[in-house]
C-alpha cells in the first residue's frame, strides 16, 4: 500500500525501523473523525489518526492549518467539536500528556530546579520532587545550573529546562509544538539529538509539530501532513537509528513530503 | 564592587545636602539669612534636642506614625483585596471598576471640608483621608499587575495540572508583584502627604499639629524641624519598601547584580 493513501484509520502496526524493543500493539491515542470549529470557521474536519504507544509522530503543515489546534485537543486544552479522541486503555489520559510549547514558558521567579518541579505538580512533592528534578536536569546537561534564575540562561538552555519539566513526570504522551523553532541551527541539532536520546530511553509517545521537514524525517517514525483540516499524507519513515542527517534515503522522503506540501 | 567603592557610591549622594547645610549655617551666622525667615541648622538641631528631652517630639512622631500606618492598613488592604478580586473575576470587575475609576478622578484632599463635617477633627477624619489616598494606587496597580501576568504562563500552569490556589500563588501573584510594589511605594508617598495636610488643618496632636502650634508662637525652628522630620519619615518608608522589593524580586533582572 502506498503511504499517501493512508488517510483513513490505521490499525495497530509495529513501527518499522524502531530498533529498541517495546510497547508494540498498545494504542497511545486515537482521533476518530475529529473536528474542531471556532465559530463558523472549521479548522479541523475529520481527522482520523491512530497512534501506537511509543511512536514518534511528526506533524507538518502550512501555517494556520491547525497543527497547534490538534495538539491542544490532544493535551486536553480544547475539546473536539465533532468526532472523538480516545486514549489507550491503561493510560491515565490527559494527566499524563505533557505539552512543550514553542516558548520555554519558565516561571521567571522560580529557580531552574523549581521550574522543573512544576512538572511534578500532583505527582511528587518535597525532597522526592527535588531529587527527580535534579536527576532529569542532569540528563539534559544542566545539573550545575539548578539554583539559578531562568533569566540568566541562554535560549537553548531555557528550552532544555522546559524539556526537563515536560519529562520529569514520565508522561506517556509528549506533545511538542515547534519547541525548537526559535533556536539557532546548531543548538537545534543538539536539541534534536537530546530529544531522540531521551525518547529512546523513556519510551513515551512523541507528537512533534514542526515546520522543518528535515527535522521531521530525522526524528520521526511517522510523518503526517495536515492540509485543509484533514490528513493529506501519512508516511512511515522506515530508517534505522541512529540516522545520518542528509542521507539519500532521508532526502528522498523529505522530497516526497515537500511535493505533497507544495505540489 | 569593593566596600570602599560602595561607601563612595552611597556617600556621594549625601555630599550635596551636606554642602547645602554648611552653606546655610554660614549664611545664618553671617546674618545674610535672618532667623525669622529661616533659622540656622544649629538652631533646628537645638530645637530637636529640646523637644526630644521634653518627650514632645517622640510623642508626636508616634501619633503621626500610628495614624499613617492605620490609614495605610485600612486603605491598602481594601485596595489590594479589590484589585485582586477585579483582576481575577470579570464579574467583579464589571460590577465595580467603572464606579471606582469615577471616584478616582476626585482628588481625595478635595473631600477635606466634607470629612471635617462628618468626623470633626477626630482620628476618624485622618484615618479616612489616608485610607482613601492610599486605596487607589494600591488598587490600580494590583489590578494592572494581575492583568499583565503573561497568559502563556497561566496556560502552562493549567497544562501542568496546577489547581486554582497553586496557579494564584505560584504564577499570578508573583507575576503581579512588581506592579504591586510600584503601587506600594506610590501609596507610601501619598500616605505622608495626606497626613501632613490633614494634621495641619485639623488635629490636636501629631507632627502637623506641632508645626501649626509652633507657627502660632513663631517658633520657626520647630516648624523647620517638623518639615525635616516629615522628609525623613517619608524617606524611611520608601527605603523599607525598596528593601522589601529587593528581597522579594530577586529573580527580576532589574534587581540582579545590585
Ligand atoms: N481560539 C481560537 N479562536 C478562533 N480561531 C482560532 C483559535 N485558535 C486557532 N484559531 C484558528 O485556527 C486556525 C489554525 O490555528 P493553529 O494555531 O492550529 O495553526 P497552526 O497550524 O499551528 O499554525 P502555525 O504553524 O502558524 O503555528 C487559524 O486560522 C487560527 O486563526
Ligand atoms: Mg502553531
Three-class SS state of A230: strand
Of A194, A198, A196, nearest in space to A218 by CA:
A196
The torsion of the CA quartet B41, B208, B60, B239, rounded to 10 degrees, works out to -70
Q: Indicate which residue's Cα is closest to atom 3 of ligand 1.
A: A38
Residue B186: per-residue pLDDT: 94
Say what the ipTM of the complex is.
0.81
In testing the pocket of ligand 1, which one of A34, A60, A66 has its CB within 8 Å of the most ligand atoms?
Answer: A66
The C-alpha cell that represents A150 in the structure block: 531562568
Residue A117 included in any domain: yes
Residue A102 included in any domain: no
Sign of CA dihedral B230, B236, B241, B246: positive
Consecutive 10-residue runs of chain A (263 residues): their mean pLDDT? 35 36 68 93 93 95 92 90 83 67 94 96 92 94 94 93 93 92 87 93 93 93 94 93 89 92 83
Residue A101 included in any domain: no
Q: How many angstroms separate the CA of residue B148 from the nearest CA in chain A?
A: 14
DSSP letters, A122-167, are: TT--HHHHHHHHHHHHHHTT-GGGTTS-GGGS-HHHHHHHHHHHHH
Cα distances (angstroms) measured from residue B30 to each of A66, A163, B37, B42: 84, 74, 14, 14
Of A45, A34, A77, A64, nearest in space to A175 by CA:
A77
Residues of A in contact with B157 (CB under 8 A): 118
Q: Are residues A36 and A134 in the same domain?
A: no
Question: Which residues are registered as beta bridge partners of A30?
Answer: A50, A86
For residues A190 and A163, the answer to whether their CB atoms sit within 8 Å is no
Residue B6: per-residue pLDDT: 64
Residue B257: per-residue pLDDT: 60
CA A68 to chain centre: 11
Residue B92: per-residue pLDDT: 93
Residue A109: per-residue pLDDT: 95
Q: Are residues A117 and A228 in the same domain?
A: no
Residues of A in contact with B158 (CB under 8 A): 77
User: What would the pLDDT profile of A130-146 be if each residue is shown by its tens digit?
Assistant: 999 999 999 999 999 99
Q: What is the largest CA-CA distance in chain B?
A: 75
Residue A200 belongs to a domain with what CATH number? 3.40.50.300
Q: Are residues A67 and A181 in the same domain?
A: yes
Cα distances (angstroms) measured from residue A3 to each of A238, B144, B241: 12, 53, 66
Residue A34 included in any domain: yes
CA-to-CA distance for B152 and B157, rounded, in angstroms? Answer: 9
Q: What is the largest CA-CA distance in chain A?
A: 55
Q: Are residues A8 and A47 in the same domain?
A: yes
Give me the residues of B, 119-158, that contact A with CB < 8 A: 152-153, 155-158
Enumerate the domain spans of chain B. Answer: 1-33, 37-255
DSSP percent split of chain A into helix, strand, coil, nearest 5: 35, 25, 40
Q: Which parts of chain B have pLDDT scores under 70?
A: 1-9, 257-258
Query: A135: domain range?
Result: 107-170
CA-to-CA distance for B102 and B81, rounded, in angstroms? Answer: 19
Q: Indicate which residue's Cα is closest to atom 8 of ligand 1.
A: A69
Sign of CA dihedral B50, B51, B52, B53: positive
CA-to-CA distance for B126 and B208, rounded, in angstroms? Answer: 12
Q: Are residues A23 and A46 in the same domain?
A: yes
Q: Are residues A187 and A253 in the same domain?
A: yes
Of A161, A168, A228, A220, nearest in space to A196 by CA:
A220
The reply to whether CATH 1.10.3720.10 applies to domain B37-255 is yes
Q: Are residues A139 and A210 in the same domain?
A: no
Which of A151, A170, A189 is the last residue before a domain boundary? A170
Residue A262: per-residue pLDDT: 86
Which of A170, A186, A207 is the last residue before a domain boundary? A170
The C-alpha cell that represents A259 in the structure block: 511535493
Which runs of E-coded beta strand occur in B68-216?
none
Confirm or reject contact between B252 and chain A (CB < 8 A). Answer: yes
Residue A114 included in any domain: yes
Domain tally for chain A? 2
Which of A137, A170, A203 is the last residue before a domain boundary? A170
Residue A152: per-residue pLDDT: 94
User: What would the pLDDT profile of B215-255 be if each residue is shown by its tens digit?
Assistant: 888 888 999 999 889 888 998 999 999 999 998 898 888 88
Q: Are residues A11 and A89 in the same domain?
A: yes
Amino acid at each position: 500500500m502506498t503511504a499517501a493513501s493512508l488517510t483513513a484509520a490505521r490499525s495497530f502496526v509495529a513501527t518499522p525501523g524502531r530498533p529498541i524493543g517495546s510497547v508494540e500493539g498498545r494504542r497511545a491515542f486515537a482521533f476518530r473523525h475529529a473536528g474542531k470549529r471556532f465559530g463558523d470557521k472549521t479548522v479541523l474536519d475529520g481527522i482520523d489518526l491512530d497512534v501506537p504507544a511509543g511512536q514518534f509522530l511528526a506533524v507538518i503543515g502550512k501555517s494556520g492549518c491547525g497543527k497547534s489546534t490538534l495538539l491542544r485537543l490532544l493535551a486536553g486544552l480544547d475539546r473536539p467539536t465533532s468526532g472523538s479522541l480516545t486514549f489507550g486503555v491503561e493510560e491515565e489520559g490527559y494527566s499524563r500528556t505533557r505539552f512543550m510549547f514553542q516558548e520555554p514558558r519558565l516561571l521567571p521567579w522560580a529557580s531552574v530546579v523549581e521550574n522543573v518541579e512544576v512538572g511534578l505538580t500532583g505527582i511528587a512533592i518535597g525532597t522526592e520532587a527535588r531529587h527527580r528534578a535534579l536527576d532529569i536536569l542532569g540528563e539534559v546537561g544542566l545539573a550545575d545550573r539548578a539554583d539559578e534564575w531562568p533569566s540568566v540562561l541562554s535560549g537553548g538552555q531555557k528550552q532544555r529546562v522546559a524539556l526537563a519539566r515536560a519529562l520529569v513526570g514520565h508522561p506517556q504522551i509528549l506533545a511538542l509544538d515547534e519547541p525548537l523553532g526559535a533556536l539557532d541551527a546548531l543548538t537545534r541539532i543538539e536539541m534534536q539529538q537530546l530529544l531522540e536520546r531521551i525518547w529512546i530511553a523513556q519510551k513515551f509517545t512523541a507528537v512533534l509539530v514542526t515546520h522543518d521537514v528535515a527535522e521531521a524525517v530525522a526524528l520521526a517514525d511517522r510523518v503526517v501532513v495536515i492540509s485543509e483540516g484533514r490528513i493529506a499524507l501519512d508516511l512511515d519513515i522506515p530508517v534505522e537509528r541512529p540516522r545520518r542527517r542528509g542521507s539519500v534515503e532521508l532526502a528522498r522522503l523529505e522530497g516526497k513530503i515537500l511535493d505533497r506540501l507544495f505540489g | 564592587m569593593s566596600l570602599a567603592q560602595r561607601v563612595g557610591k552611597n556617600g556621594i549622594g549625601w555630599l550635596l545636602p551636606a554642602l547645602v547645610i554648611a552653606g546655610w549655617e554660614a549664611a545664618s551666622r553671617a546674618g545674610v539669612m535672618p532667623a525669622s525667615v529661616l533659622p540656622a541648622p544649629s538652631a533646628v538641631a537645638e530645637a530637636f534636642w529640646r523637644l526630644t528631652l521634653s518627650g514632645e517630639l517622640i510623642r508626636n512622631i508616634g501619633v503621626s506614625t500610628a495614624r499613617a500606618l492605620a490609614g495605610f492598613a485600612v486603605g491598602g488592604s481594601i485596595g489590594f483585596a479589590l484589585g485582586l478580586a477585579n483582576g481575577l473575576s470579570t464579574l467583579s470587575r464589571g460590577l465595580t471598576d467603572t464606579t471606582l475609576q469615577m471616584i478616582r478622578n476626585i482628588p481625595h484632599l478635595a473631600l477635606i471640608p466634607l470629612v471635617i463635617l462628618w468626623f470633626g477633627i477626630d482620628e476618624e477624619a485622618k484615618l479616612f483621608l489616608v485610607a482613601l489616598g492610599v486605596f487607589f494606587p494600591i488598587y490600580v496597580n494590583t489590578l494592572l499587575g494581575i492583568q499583565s501576568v503573561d497568559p502563556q504562563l497561566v496556560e502552562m500552569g493549567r497544562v501542568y495540572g496546577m489547581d486554582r490556589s497553586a496557579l494564584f500563588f505560584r504564577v499570578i501573584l508573583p507575576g503581579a508583584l512588581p506592579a504591586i510594589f510600584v503601587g506600594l511605594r506610590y501609596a507610601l508617598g501619598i500616605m505622608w502627604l495626606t497626613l501632613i495636610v490633614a494634621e495641619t488643618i485639623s488635629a490636636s496632636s501629631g507632627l502637623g499639629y506641632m508645626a501649626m502650634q509652633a507657627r502660632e508662637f513663631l517658633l520657626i525652628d520647630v516648624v523647620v524641624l517638623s518639615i525635616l522630620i516629615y522628609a525623613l519619615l517619608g524617606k524611611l518608608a520608601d527605603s523599607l519598601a525598596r528593601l522589601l522589593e529587593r528581597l522579594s524580586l530577586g529573580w527580576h533582572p532589574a534587581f540582579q547584580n545590585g
